[in-house]
Every structure is written in structure tokens, then in C-alpha cells.
Chain A
């Protein structure tokens, strides 16, 4: 067969020279207790005495344990510590060779989902201080995402206000698996605060949350769960549309992270059709749902879906539009995508630069 793949296509000189914006990098603590250094003593004592309690079923293992511990096996820093805990190694392995001009950090952390709301606020503030201290103040290419105690709306807004003037933070993180659907009224002040400051809201897929991971209950396998982690960002986008959030806040930008993007086209078709026949139920939604998506929603690419026939990806790009998607690597996780090899079709040069860099520059104003 002529299309037997033996070696990956070597990168071209143009590729190596292309500057990339990476919309999803996951920095890590050097040790599990590193966060304690950033907490006030009251909460440090609390954490030591009572633990850190999000609605996950266990600590010390994941309920859906991941292959290879969920990490790229080559991402362990030679100096010790977990992947992406060492800035020097992150530079050498990721930022430099991939020519990343801006890398946006997403701190996957339990802070926004802690059951104790006061601890949630303290933990989120500590995460933001940690981002500044360990990363943003050390490496000008990195940008931060404001972590907020989202289930306590007033505290979440206060945290946004406290960080919004620091230009190193470029967006607000909202965990799409909250206690209520993301578009419900309790969360509106958060979106208003983000929109007021021109900060996009980034929703990153969340493997753990308050409820089952499918509408029929919890799946059995990591394979299914890793499929279903893309669902909450779909539900969050749907919720923001049908609750009228985008209608109310036309300047709000929503960035959906680490859920791939193939689902977005058929979801737009489905939402438009249901809206057309059911719109009397939801008068606050004045436009076809896909209009809001095309105006206010962007998707990051990773994990890029893999069609059985690579060429079919072209249909998807046509249906969705190359202007909606922004490259993300998910470094240092196992399902990492390489900017020049994850799209296994010949993108047009302008599509490629839009996806790898220009869309993100425009969304974030870099």
C-alpha cells in the first residue's frame, strides 16, 4: 500500500519557523504539598487536619486510572518531580523546539470544586499566586488563567476583580462540571465580570465533578470516561446559549478546551433545529444557536479527532470554519498533540496559521 506510514513526515523549514500559540499547557506542583506554601496558615492547618475535599471518590488513585499515569512518558524532568513541574525542562522540551510564542496555562486543580466554599476561595487565590510566582513571573511566554471559587459567586467575582488588572492573566477558568448547568443564573455575575474586563471564559474538560459522567450513570472504563470528558463543555456551551447568556452578554468570549472539536458542527445543526421548532419555550434566545457560536465561541483543537480516513477532516473544517479553532497541545499529558503533525491533512497555509496562531492572537489580543 502506498500510504503505509513508516516514518512521520519530517517537519519543513516553514513549519519549524512558524510561531505557535499553545492554548493549553498544564503546569504541575513539584510536590503534592506545594500549594500549602501559598495558603494562609488558617487554611494550611485546615488542609493538614481535614484534607482537601472535592467530590472525587478517592485520593491516591483515580477512579478511572489513566494509561501511563496520564502523562507523556518522555516528560519527566531529569531533575526529578512530575512532568511540567520544572520550567527549565518545559522550555527545553516544549516551548523552544515548538516555537511557542505564547503558552496559556490551565491549572487543573480541585480549588473550584471544593465542597467547603471558604476553602475553595482560599485555594483558588493560592493557585493564582502560585501561577504568578512559579510561572508567569519567570517566563514571559507563559500566560495565566484565573482560577475562581465558582460555586460561591461573590467570592468568584472578587477573585476576578483582584486579578483582572494583571495582564499576565488572560482569561477566567470555569469548570464546566459545576453544581448547576453552566448557564444558570447563579453564575451570571461571573460572566459579567469576565466580559467587563474583556477576559474570555475558558472551560476545560473536567473528569471529576458533582454528578455522573453520562445521562445514564457512570461509565465503567477510562476509554468511555475519556470520551465523556468532552461532554461537559458541549453541555456548557449549550447551556450558555439556551439560558440566554450570550444574548445578554454579546462581548463574552467562551473558549472550550481539551474536548476536540468534531462534535461542534453537528451540535450546531441540532441546536438550530430544536431552537427552530421549540423557540417559544426559550424566548430569551433570539438568534439561531449557531449564530452565538460563530460570534462568541472558540474551540481548542486537542485531542484532534482521528477519522478513519484522514481526508475527511476537511469536511469538518468546512462545516465548522477554521476561524473557530485554536491549537492546543495539552502538554505534558499523554494525549498531547504536536502542532505540525496532529492535523493529518494538507491544510491551506492560511488555515494553518489561523489555527496555530492567528485566531488565538485575535481572541486574546496578543
Chain B
């Protein structure tokens, strides 16, 4: 348990993702148009790495042909395309039984980071930069 500084914010620009391995877990961290999100990296279906997935909005339809964007952000698994709610990890196709773990992820200014309770494994913290902080 704890907060982990995983990279500088500029290393995770909007539209990008990365995989981090912390405390024996694989976690996929996304920058979805400026909003950060983090999910367990392995798809519960057959184990694809979700960090390779696409983030798009959820499309619904009342009747056939009536496509409607809902704005809700979903991750599409890079293999079989199952959709997961980016904020909760819940699967659309089997919500009762399938979900990926969602983690809190935030941006924190470098100033003050080195004082803890953060775990900083790899990074030299520069006070003038912003960092991505993951809570496990």
C-alpha cells in the first residue's frame, strides 16, 4: 500500500499510456485527454495488456442505426475489444462478473514530493516539474 511516483507528467502526454510494475502488480496508466486513469494491466478475459488499448467514448443506440455518443470514457481491450469503464474498470459486456481493478492516479507537483509518504524508486524529483502519482 502506498503512493508511488511513477513518472514525470510530460512522459505521459495526452493520448498516451504506459505500463508500470509495482509491488508485483502490472498496472496500465493512461492520460486520456488530460485526465489520468489507471487500471490493472491484464484483461480479465484472456490476459491482453490493457495499456495497448484504445480509449474512446461509449456508443449507445436506442434503435437500430441510431448511434449516439454518450461521452463516457471506455477502454477497448486490444485483443477482443471488450469495453471497460475507464474510471471504475467495470466491463460493459459482463458487468456482474468481469471488471479490472481501478487505481487512483493523480498529478502532484515536485515540490514536497520528496518528503513522503511517497515511494520514489527511480526518479530524481525536480521541484519545478509535475509527477504522476499512483495509489495502490
Contacts and interface: CB of A to CB of B under 8 A. Distances in A.
Asked whether any CB of A lies within 8 Å of a CB of B in the complex, the reply is yes
Contact of A5 (B54, B76, B97): B97
A29 to B, nearest CB: 22
A334 B99 contact: no
B78 A338 contact: no
A73 interface: yes
A6 interface: yes
A73 B101 contact: no
A7 B81 contact: no
A67 B81 contact: yes
A73 B45 contact: no
Contacts of B44: 5-8
Contacts of A341: 45-47
A68 to B, nearest CB: 6
B42 A73 contact: no
A336 interface: yes
A11 to B, nearest CB: 8
Given A73-B54, A74-B48, A341-B47, A7 B42 contact: yes
Given A1-B96, A67-B81, A334-B79, A6 B46 contact: no
A347 to B, nearest CB: 15
Contacts of B43: 8
B46 A73 contact: no
Contacts of B45: 8, 341
A334 B54 CA distance: 14
Give the residue among B40, B44, B79, B96 with the most A Cβ atoms within 10 A. Answer: B79
Contacts of B53: 73
A337 interface: yes
A73 B80 contact: no
A337 B98 CA distance: 18
B16 to A, nearest CB: 14
A1 B97 contact: yes
Contact of A7 (B52, B76, B78, B101): B101
A4 interface: yes
A3 interface: yes
B130 interface: no
Give the residue among A4, A7, A337, A342 with the most B Cβ atoms within 10 A. Answer: A7
A335 interface: yes
A72 interface: yes
A342 B54 contact: no
B90 to A, nearest CB: 10
A22 to B, nearest CB: 15
B47 A338 contact: yes
A334 B80 contact: yes
Nearest to B41: A7
Interface in B70-118: 76, 78-81, 89, 96-101
Contact of A8 (B46, B76, B99): B46
Contacts of A336: 46, 79-80
Contacts of B79: 72-74, 334, 336
Interface in B40-64: 40, 42-49, 52-54
B46 A4 contact: no
B97 A342 contact: no
A109 B81 CA distance: 25
B52 A74 contact: yes
Nearest to B25: A7
Nearest to B100: A6
A74 B43 CA distance: 13
Contacts of B40: 6-7
Contacts of A68: 54, 76, 78, 81
B98 A73 contact: no
B19 to A, nearest CB: 11
Nearest to A335: B80
Nearest to A221: B64
A338 B81 CA distance: 15
A4 B97 contact: yes
Contacts of B76: 68
Given A8-B44, A335-B80, A336-B79, 20 more contacts: A5-B44, A6-B99, A6-B100, A6-B101, A7-B42, A8-B46, A8-B47, A72-B48, A72-B79, A73-B53, A73-B78, A73-B79, A74-B48, A74-B52, A74-B79, A334-B79, A334-B80, A337-B46, A338-B47, A342-B46
7 contacts: A4-B97, A8-B43, A68-B78, A72-B79, A334-B81, A336-B46, A336-B80
Closest 7 CB pairs of A and B: A73-B78, A74-B52, A5-B44, A8-B47, A341-B46, A338-B46, A74-B78
